[in-house]
Structures are given as structure tokens and as C-alpha cells.
Structure 1
Amino acid sequence: MHTSQLPLFPAVNPQVSLVTVAHLTPEELEQRAMAAIDAVLEAGHPMICAWSSGKDSSVVANLMLNAARARLERGESCPPLLINHSSITVENPEVQALASSEIEKMRAYAADQGIPLTVRVGHPTLYSAFACRVIGGRGLPAFPDTRGDCSVDWKVRVGDRLTAEAYAELRHVTDMPAVLMTGVRREESSARAASIASRGERDDGIWTNAEGGMRLSPILSWTSDDVWTYLGYCAAGMIPSYSDFAETMRFYRDAGGSSCVVVASDMMDARKGGGCGARSGCVTCTKVKSDKSLTNMVESDADRYGYMKPMLAFRDFISNTQYDWSRRSYVGRTIDKDGYIAIAADTYAPQMLEELLWYALSIQATLPRAANFRYVDRRELFAIDMLWSAYGLHKPFHALWIAREVERGNLKFPPKVKPVQKTPVPSYGRIYVGSDWDGIDTPKVAGLFDAPLAMAEEGCGIGSIGTRFTRDGRIVTDFDTTQQFEIDEEGAFLFLEFEADRHIAEFHRDDAEWTAAARIYLRYGFVTLAKGAHARWDGLLRRTEWRQQNGLHGQPPLEHLIARCDAPARQEEALFAEAA
């Protein structure tokens, strides 16, 4: 930790126009940003810093902490400060380690200086995380030519949730509204610059977003070189800082494959370069064609980063098979208003999902303990098994069976495949099932009504779990709910230790009722549904039961599905002939 007693740079006028900011020295930029932050604190506003562990947000966090430090040294008060950090769980392990280390340094620095700082770390919901979303079969990964909604689920919504929680927390200690501060910079891209202009962002004082939230963008006009020069001053001990940022610089250097990063010994020379633009997100990201950061790291230092090579292979396997239609399911999950199920390439096929889980568990089983990384943790393993059962993708407890196989040393790793060229999405027609297949009086489709549990409750007089009616008049078991789909860690552990093998032996077979695992998990009580989701899960289970009764569960041979299709559309006739 660097806490040099050297004075901060001489104060400058914070009201310098944006036109002249480009002519300010790094010292003047630093003091200008400090003055803007101090003005917010002087007005009594609590401050929230959105921190990612990257270079820009690290500068902003240090500016905030130093502004608070200066106020306390002058004998002035300081409102509460918060650091919000969104962890996406499948982030590059080196980034995860960096974030954890830097957070501890922030806490130590704040405690040492008497700064009122709280650090909050948020994660995606279990249902939206990579394991459930992709391996659980809920949806496909984000590809270059598809919507990137994973970033919304894993970053934006987590950040919004943390901010809302922070606002609620701060309302109990102050009447002054909080100001959210970010490290956004105009230079980053033309698109971002346009967005910044449309929002009216400024770096010399508070601005307000469309929802009325108070914001501050203190390094809005900084260049990448300005950022690295500032971190270089911190590394040299010329600016008080919670960190020497050595690990931050090392990551950017190794991920960027360049020597552009400022280091203490040659920080002034670094002003001549173009700065480092290396970015790294999750190790599963397929939104880009290739993960240059991860590739650079693996190639730059095999001894240090070689353990991530299988991760890169896993990412490349997913990316390169985007248009491999043999890895897709062809039975639609919904029934349209006319009573048809579409037969077309859709989400991943059960076999592909099995491969992904096997690869993920095998890779994480061989990682060094220090990596502290999991594609799939225990809760997510059960969530995957729950979804596979509810969707009718695999026989009951298949995910747990795969996990047991990996534990026995039966490891599988992603093959190296060439990118499959883009072709039109295959669509073969529709299967007519009618509109009365799941009529309210249909005896063979139970949905979320657990008859054995109901009989046990009635016979024993326990009465802890009753029944309820959905809006469409169906009776379902009134399982417990929470704000979101959740799995109790301790309950999952106990089931895995004492019940899993027995249930695998009894139910892990093709002729079992494939929704059995989902019901059993709910029956044991360590899986809870989201509030208001009874009807949705009831419909999902009913459709799966009906599909199993009609041979449409799992992964039916494509030729069988085509044979059952009603008259295909004209544009699909060529595909029929090709598939035949």
C-alpha cells in the first residue's frame, strides 16, 4: 500500500472548459477531478463508485479515496463512500484474483485513513448465470451476430441491483441523495462519445440521467495515456494510493501483448505510446470471434498462465460450433396458438449440453487450487439438473451422474474444431398437437402438482405444504418461493453426500419419468421457485410430460421428426429433401 506524504499537485480551477482540458497537464487533470469529487462530498452527498478492477475505474476509486483522505486531514467531515463491484463468476481467473486483492487493499487503506468506506460485491442471479443459461439449456451463448444480453444480465442488472441496494442503505443514514461515479471516458469509442453527449455528461460537476439519478464522470476527458500516467505516479509513490497497481499493470501488459503499460521506472516514457486497450471479460465470451486477451496471456507466459489453455479451448469450441446445426435441438419448446410445435434448429441439443457440462467439470477438476475458478459450482450443478429434468432434455439426475463420472477420473476435454461456416437456420416444418393436449382434466399430465407429496401430507397430517390454484384454475403444490429461483447450498451438499447415488440408481434410466428430478428437488425443499412462478413451472412440466408420452423429449432423430411434420412450407421443401 502506498501512502506517501508528498503533497498533492497544486489546485487548479475545476471550472476549466472541456475545450481546454486537452491542454491540461496530468497534474492539473488529477487536481481538477479531485476538486469535482470534493465539491460533491462538501455538499454532503454520499458517493458510490462503480468499480470493475480495470484501469479507469481504479483511477476513479483512488481519486475518491484520496479526496476523502484530504478532507479528513483538513478536519472536515466525509459522507459515506461505497464501492460497487459486479463479479460475473466466469470471469478470467486472473481478473477475479486481481479484483479480490485490490478490494482488500481498498478496505485496508480506508481503515488506515479512517475513511467511511463500504465495498459491495454482486453476482448474477443463479437463473441467469452462464451455467444455467447455457449449460442448463435456457438459451444460447451470445455470438458476434446475436444479441449480447448476457452482459445485461451479468453486469448491467447486477450493477443496477447493487446501486438500488446502496441507495436503500444510505437512506437510513442521510437525507442527501447519493451520487454514482463511473470511469467512463469520451475517448474510448465514437459510439460511447455520442452516448455521453446525448446524456449531457460532464466532468466538472454533477449531471442527472434520464431517470433523475445524480452522476459524476470525473475522468470523462482523460486519455488512455492520462490514465496510465496517473497510475504510474501512484506506483512511484508520488500520489497516495490504496495500491501500487503493479498487478493491474501486469495484467494489462500480458493481456494486451504489448509494453504500453506504465511502470514506475519508465512511467514518463509511457506518455509517448498509444496506451493499452486490453480488455478481458468472461472466459466463456463468444461475443467476439477470438479472445485476444486470454490468448495473449497464455502465449506470453506459459508457466504463469498455461493453466488457462483448456479454458481457451472450451471458449473456442463453443465459438467455432455456432453454425454446427447437428448440435441443436429441433423440437420447439412452445406450442403456438394454432396448436403446432415448430421443427427447426433452436437451442443446444441435449447431447451438446452434456458435452459442455462434461468439459466444464473436467477443466475445473484439473485447475490449480489457487485459480479459485468454477464454471459450475454445486448450486449451479443442481440448477442444471433441475432444468434438464424440467425441459425433458435428459433422464433424471443426469447432471449429477456426469459429476460422479468426473469425480471417478472419467475426464473429457473439448476437441479442437475448425469454425463451421454460416448457413441458413434449418427449418423443416411443424407438428400438429392441437389445443386440448393439456386440458385441465387431462389425467396423465400432473405438472407442478406432486400427488405423492400431497398424499403423504394428508396421511401424516403434517400440513406444511398445501396446494394452490393458478389463474387458469389448475391445482399445483404450494412449494416455497423466494424473490428469485434459488438453491440452498447446505441442502444441495447434503443431498449430494447422502441421497444422490440412491436416486441416480433408481431414476437414471430412459423409461423413468424425466420430470422426476425436478419434483424430487422441490420435494426435498432445498430448491425454491421464484415468487409468482408456480404457473410457469406448472406449464413447463406439463409440456415436458406430454412430450415424453409422445416421443418428443430428449433428442429424437431428426428423420423421425421430419416424418411426423405436417405439410412443410415451400421454402422448407429443399431442406426436407436434403435431410432425407
Structure 2
Amino acid sequence: MYRDHSADNIQTWTPAVVSKAVFSNRCQSAIDAIKATMAQVTVTTVGMSYGKDSVTTLVLALEAARQIQTETGTAPKILLITADTGVENPLQTKLAVQMSNRVLEWADERGLDVEQTWVTPDPINSYLVSMLGMRGVASVPGASATCSIQLKVEPMNKKRKELAKTYGAENIGVLTGVRHEESTVRSANMTKRGESATEAFRTETGSLQLAPIADWTEADVWRLLNTGARTSGFEMVDCEPVILHYELQGDATCGTVSIGQTAKSAGRPCSGGRGGCFICQKVDTDHSFLNVVEKVPYLEPLARLSRLIRAGHFVPENRNFISKGADEQNRVRVFSNAYSAPWTSYLLSLIMSLDEREDEYARAKSAKLGRKVARRFPRLLTLEQQLLIAFQWSRYGVQAPGEYARIREAILQGERWDLPTDEELSALAARADRKLMGKTFGYLQSDFVNTRGGEYRDHYRDLIGTETGCSPQVMLDDDGDRDLYVSGKGIIHDTIELSDIVEADLSDFESEIELEDFLWWYAMEFAAGEKGHNEEMNFLLREGVIRARSGYQSQLAEYQRYNLHLHAIREKGPIGSLEQIMAHPQFVTADQAKATEDATSNSAPAIIATDRSTEEAPAKAKSTETDQLDLFTA
């Protein structure tokens, strides 16, 4: 796949030669452990990133299945589960597709029962949707890696739960490619969980889990992938694309190494690269991706976008300083929350420009060659994801109403936003102020009094009734009357289009023309910025574009109420920046708020509303001075 670049990598270390018998025995020990696990389950799952460790685990699993087939006449079922985060290094995605096809073809030729399934995060949890939608911020060094949980672990666990309904959790085997050598923290976590290379353990969900290469070194991994049957003792799928992909990242992929002390004394010369998300902020500098960009320059804008997100992360004007809900005293907490309205608007404009320019490249190339030419990297934001961002902007009430419609209209008219230069990135990063992050400055007091009883209402429905043809289907029941939802507490809500998750769904539009008519109407209604946040949120829900689970109406009522609090606060003064907030007549400092609470014996504790659970509206929890919101927790 990347053979043209493999010559660029020069091995600078010659590993010691080790006996083939020693290494083949190590492989067979892992295979025996996998066979013992497979014998106890109906289906064996392997989490596949198609990086070096997961491919090594798969190679061993395939041989285990082949041996069982020879011994019993029946091959055990293997399901490969790959998480597509939507922000992967594009060449990593290509590698995954190429290796998946190669593995499936190889297994089919040998009569093995192997399937591939791809999983993605719930739409509302997509990295860019969450970050640009003001639900959270990027995960940076020192913060928890919640992004990997939301983008990979949870989608894979969701798939395994589906399998549990089919097979029973106790009949599912899970093979992982984790290794103790990877890091001290990972090793400690593996030990705590009971991860073993020789004996599977029962997880909390009831499945059997095994880490067959837990005790392998990185040198062991590369030895298997490089030398194959020559030292492993069994036939295996060709792993050359994996090797070339790592060498493209500038990493050494040693062919043979000594087992044990020799590899350790050599200073880990077989250095594996960090494959994964091109936009990852958990590393200070993503050398692996930068090495790829040197050889594949059309990916440079993606690397620059990642650098921009990092440079602007701690800059005060790039942060929204109000929480996502009002507490029981109608106060809105002031602290460094998600990204600000100007910053998210700028980032969305840049990303949509990148996508449009790549489309323009593909169209021009297709016209020149007289055949269809694909984009060089996947679309960063689909139209559905853009609409989810617009919905989150409206429900949180911070971004200006109609902002998405204005950005999209500008893009359609040919306007493009350029990524910053190196000098501009340095100047941006220099404005960072970490001391402001996580600190509670005080509260904005709202004088709005709720009188609606907690129900979600779209007042457009009150205006037009059910007689007109302007009523979208979601507004009407089967008899043509106003469709309503009654909660378990007896509260009557307007209905919404249902889905298991919060998503944007455009499938009901019967043609491209019908979809464009909707988008034109959306721009006509909101691009002028004369309507409010609740009206924009209700429009997307009423048209059935934004869908959610039954019962989500109570969460929508909370968002509506919160937006009315913000509206009341803005009538007394602007709150677009920390300076404006602290100058607002209804702002009280944290010390003043505490003094008031101390003086009032019946005072309720300060409560912050956040959005910690998937597809939920703000849940109430006690605030602390050290809260630092991370991606997907804001």
C-alpha cells in the first residue's frame, strides 16, 4: 500500500538472532490460551484497530481457529470489531480497510468463519460534533482520555451488548492486544483487571477476556509481523501493509530480536508509532503523523488544524465562561467551560472550508482525467453532523441564533476560511492563560421565573394549529390532531421524532431537491438572527431532523428554561466574554455568593448543571473549585 515510501526508512539497529524454536514456542503458548478460551464460548471478538498489536493478536487467533478446525472439523466463529472514530489518520483508515479485506479473503480461502463489523460513536458523541457543538473541549495532556472511551470503547461495548442478546454474554470471548510493556499505567490497570496471557477471566458483563500477548515485548510483535511462518511455525496472512504503514510514520519495525534482556538492553530499538486520530491532543507533538505529512503533503491541512486546536485551547477568549444550566437559586455558574461562540464558529468555518476545497479538488481532478476521482481524505463533517452542531448551539443558548445557517450560506456563496500560518499559531498559543482554567469566578443571577410547569412546548404549534398543510408530520397524531407525549410524572409535552440516540436524520427527505428546500427554508428563517435559540431548536425538532429517545422532551424543557434564564440575563447586559460577565450588574463573585449562603441557613448548595451523560440535558451536581471540563463531560 505504501511501498513507494518504505525505502525512506533506514533501520539503524541490527537485532540479535534468536532460536526459531524459542519464538515458535512463545507463539504456540499464546495460541493454546486462545484455543482454551474459544472452546468455552460461541463467538470470539477481537478489537481491531489494525495497528501492530491488534494484528498480532488476530494472527494468533486465526491460527488458533485453524488448529481447532483441524482437530474438530469445525472452525470457531471470530468477529472482528473495528471502531471508526471519524477523525482517524486517513492512512490508518485505508490500512484498516485494506487489511480487513486481506484477512477476510485469507480466512475464506481456508474455510474459517471470520466476519468484520465496523462501529462508530453515537452521532452526538462524535469528536468534532461534541467539541464544536460546545459540549466539551479537546482532551489534552494531563486531562483524562475520555475521548478514547467515547469514540472507541463505548461503541465496541455497545456492539458486544448486542451480541450478548444474541449469544448470551457468557458465550462471548474477548481477545485484546494490550501489553504490560506499553506503559507502567497500562500494566497496573491490566493487573488490577486481572488481565492474563494464559487464562481468560470473567468480566463484569459476564464475557471471557484474554490478553494473549500481554507479556510480549514490542520486539516480539515486530518479529512475528516481519518474519511470519519462518519463525512463528505456522502460515499467516501477509502483514506487509502494517509494516509499511509504521515505516511511513518514521518508526523502526525490526524483523528479528532476542527475547528477554537483549531487547531491553538495546533501548527498545523497535519503536512503534502512535497510530490513531490525526486530531489527537493527548500528545504534545504527534511526530508519527508529522512524518506521514512529510511524505503525503495533502494531509498537511489536517495536521495544521490539529495544531490550531491545541494552540487555542487555553486562550481565555476562546472559552465560554458560563455553565450549561441554572442552579436551584436561578444562578448560572461562571467558570472556564466549553469553547466560546467565536472560537467554535471559526473552527466550523475552517473545517467546512477544508471539506469544500477537497470536494473542489476531486471535481477538478475528475474533469481532467475523465473519470471519477475520490477525495483524498474522508469528509470531516457530514451535513447531519453539521445540523447536530447547530442543534447544540441552539440548546445551549450561547452561540448566536442562526450562526450555522450564516456559515453554510457563506460557504455556498464561495467564501473560504484559511488555516493560520506558523507565526499566527505561535502568537495564538502565546495568549494562553492556564490559571483561568477550572476556577469559579462567581455567578450570574437570573430573575426569570418559570411558569410553564416543566413541559417542552413549541409555540409555533399553538399558532398554526392542525388544520394547515404547514404542519409537519411530527406535529400530528394518526387522527390529524396535535400529537402529545405524557411523561411518567403526568407532564404533557409536545412530541418529537423518535430515535434510540440523539441524531440528525435526513432520510425522510425524498429527494435532493426536497432536502435543499428544507435547508433554504432554514436559512430564510434563521440566518437573519432575528429569532431566538428556542425557536431554532424547536424548528429542527419540529421538522423531524433532530431525533431523540422517548422521554427526551423533559430534557428539552430544561434547555428551553435555561435559554429563558440567559435571555433575562442578557437583557441587563452582554455576557459574551469573561470581562463582560464580571461587569454585569447581576454578577456576584464566588466569595460574595458563599457569604450569602453562610448567612442564610436554609440556603441550598451551589449547583452546576453539566452535560455528563450521553445525549442527556444538564444533570445537577455540586461544583468544586477544581472542576476542569474535559471532552464529552462539559
**What's the TM-score once normalised by structure 1's chain length?**
0.84
Residue 239 (structure 1) shift: 6.5
2:355 matched to which residue of 1? 364
For residues 220 and 235 of structure 1, the distance between their equivalents in structure 2, rounded to whole angstroms, comes to: 21
Residue 457 of structure 2: aligned partner: 449
Question: What is the CA–CA distance in structure 1 between the aligned matches of 2:41 and 2:391, rounded to whole Å?
Answer: 49
2:585 is the alignment partner of 1:564: yes
| Structure 1 residues 16-31: aligned runs within 5 Å | 25-31=22-28
Q: Which residue of 1 aligns with 2:419?
A: 414
Q: CA deviation at 1:218?
A: 1.4
Counterpart residue number, 1:224: 218
Structure 1 residue aligned with 2:558: 539
Contact kept, 8 Å, 1:395 with 1:508, in 2: the verdict is no
User: 8 Å contact 2:197–2:215 — kept in the other structure?
Assistant: yes
Q: Deviations over 1:341-385 (max 9, x none)?
A: 233332211111101101111223334634342221121011111
Counterpart CA distance in 2 for 1:327 and 1:486 is 27
1:466 matched residue in structure 2:
483
Assess, with a 3 A threshold, how the Cα gap between structure 1 residues 247 and 347 changes in structure 2: closer, same or farther. Answer: same
- Contact 1:394/1:554, CA 8 A, preserved across alignment: no
Give the 3 Å change call, closer, same or farther, for CA 349–496 of structure 1 in structure 2. farther
Displacement, 1:119? 1.4
Tell me the distance in 1 between the aligned counterparts of 2:277 and 2:304. 14
**Is the counterpart of residue 295 in structure 1 residue 290 in structure 2?**
yes
Out of 385, 399, 410, the position equivalent to 1:380 is 385
Distance 2:565 2:433 in 1: 36
Aligned AA (1:466): D
Which has the larger displacement, 46-55 or 268-277?
A: 268-277
CA distance in 2, matches of 1:501, 1:458: 24
CA distance in 2, matches of 1:326, 1:59: 46
Confirm whether residue 261 of structure 1 aligns to residue 281 of structure 2. Answer: no
CA contact (8 A) 1:36 1:218 kept: yes
Amino acid at match of 2:395: A
Q: How does 1:232-311 map to 2 (within 5 A)?
A: 232-234=226-228, 243-255=237-249, 257-258=250-251, 260-262=252-254, 274-299=269-294, 301=295, 305-311=296-302
Mark the CA change 1:75 to 1:324 in structure 2 (over 3 Å): closer, same or farther: same
Deviation at 1:395, TM superposition (A): 4.2
Assess if the C-alpha contact under 8 Å between 2:316 and 2:436 holds in 1. no
- When residues 43 and 153 of structure 1 are mapped into structure 2, their CA distance, relative to the original with a 3 A threshold, is closer
Q: Which amino acid aligns with 1:423?
A: K
Q: What are the residue-to-residue correspondences of 1:73-472 with 2, within 5 Å?
A: 73-74=70-71, 76-171=73-168, 177-234=171-228, 243-255=237-249, 257-258=250-251, 260-262=252-254, 274-299=269-294, 301=295, 305-367=296-358, 369-415=374-420, 416-418=424-426, 419=429, 420-425=432-437, 428-434=441-447, 437-440=449-452, 448-453=456-461, 456=464, 458-459=466-467, 462-464=476-478, 466-470=483-487
**Partner letter of residue 317 of structure 2?**
S
User: Cα distance, 1:186 vs. partner?
Assistant: 1.7
Measure the CA separation in 1 of the matches of 2:499 and 2:338. Answer: 28
SS in 1 for 2:123: coil
The answer on whether the counterparts of 1:486 and 1:530 sit within 8 Å (CA) in structure 2 is no
- Greater shift, 504-513 or 377-386, is seen at 504-513
The residue that corresponds to 1:65 in the other structure is 62
Normalising by structure 2, we get a TM-score of 0.77
Alignment match, 1:485: 502
Alpha-carbon displacement from aligned partner over 1:227-255 (angstroms, at most 9, x marks no partner): 10100123979866664222211221222
Q: Residues 238 and 473 (structure 1 numbering): CA distance in 2 closer, same or farther, change over 3 Å?
A: closer
Q: Deviations over 1:85-111 (max 9, x none)?
A: 111111111111111111112221222
Give the counterpart letter for 1:340 in structure 2: R
RMSD: 3.3
How many Å separate the matches in 2 of 1:557 and 1:488?
34
Identify which range, 120-129 or 336-345, moves more after superposition.
336-345
Change in CA separation of 1:474 and 1:73 when aligned onto 2, cut-off 3 Å: closer
Please say which of residues 415-424 and 520-529 is displaced more in the overlay.
415-424
1-structure distance, mates of 2:329, 2:100: 55
Partners of 2:508 and 2:403 lie apart in 1 by 19
C-alpha distance in structure 1 between counterparts of 2:189 and 2:79, whole Å: 26
Cα distance between partner residues in 1 of 2:563 and 2:305: 30
Amino acid at match of 2:584: A
1:284 is displaced (CA, Å) by: 1.8
Aligned with 1:459: secondary structure?
coil
Higher relative contact order (CA 8 A, sep 6+): 2
Query: Offset of 1:412 from its aligned partner?
Result: 1.1
Structure 2 residue matching 1:423: 3-state secondary structure: helix
Moved more, 543-552 or 340-349: 543-552
Letter matched to residue 295 of structure 1: L
Residue 325 of structure 1: CA displacement?
0.5
For 1:238 and 1:193, locate their aligned partners in 2 and report how far apart those are by CA, in whole Å.
Answer: 26
* 2:623 equivalent in structure 1: none
Residues 325, 332 of structure 2: 8 Å contact kept: yes
Call closer, same or farther: CA 1:380–1:319 in 2, change over 3 Å: same
**Distance of aligned partners of 1:497 and 1:393 in 2 relative to their CA distance in 1, 3 Å threshold:** same
Identity %: 21
Give the secondary-structure state (helix, strand or coil) at the position aligned to 1:288: coil
Could you tell me how far apart the structure 2 residues matched to 1:23 and 1:186 are?
A: 24
TM-aligned CA distance change 1:183 to 1:509, over 3 Å: same
Q: Which runs of 5+ in 2 are unaligned?
A: 2-18, 363-373, 594-634
Equivalent of residue 516 in structure 1, options 513, 535, 555: 535
Letter in 2 for 1:348: Y
* Equivalent pair of 1:232/1:267 in contact (CA under 8 Å): no
- Alpha-carbon distance in structure 2 between the residues aligned to 1:43 and 1:551: 63
Report the secondary structure of 1:385's partner residue. helix
- The answer to whether the 8 Å contact 2:170/2:207 transfers is no
Cα 1:505–1:236 shift into 2, 3 Å: farther
State the alpha-carbon separation in 2 of the partners of residues 555 and 96 from structure 1.
42
Cα separation, 2, equivalents of 1:322 and 1:330: 14
How far residue 397 of structure 1 moved from its aligned partner, in angstroms, is: 4.0
SS in structure 2 at match of 1:25: helix
Aligned pair count? 537
**Take 2:235 and 2:299, find their aligned partners in 1: how far apart are those partners?**
31
Structure 1's 82 and 339: CA in aligned 2 closer, same or farther, altered over 3 A? same
* Distance in 2, Cα, partners of 1:396 & 1:447: 22
Cα offset, 1:53, TM superposition: 0.9
Does the Cα contact within 8 Å between 2:82 and 2:118 map onto a contact in 1? yes
**Contact 1:229-1:268 at 8 Å conserved across structures:** no
Alignment deviations for residues 151-202 of structure 1 (CA, whole Å, 9 cap, x no partner): 111112112112222232334xxx9712111111121122222222233332
8 Å contact from structure 2 (residues 21, 231) kept in 1: no
Deviations 1:312-360 (A, max 9, x none): 1111111112221011123333212222223333221111110110111
Unaligned segments of structure 1, at least 5 residues = 2-21, 573-580
- Bigger shift: residues 244-253 or 162-171: 162-171
Conserved 8 A contact 2:30-2:60: yes
Aligned to 2:601: none
Native 8 Å contact 1:252 1:261 kept in 2: yes
Q: Is the 8 A contact 1:46 1:177 kept in 2?
A: yes
- Paired with 2:235 and 2:385, the residues of 1 have a C-alpha distance of 38
2:597 alignment partner in structure 1? none
Greater shift in the superposed pair: 388-397 or 178-187: 388-397
Instruction: Determine the C-alpha separation between the residues in 1 that align with 2:78 and 2:465.
Output: 51
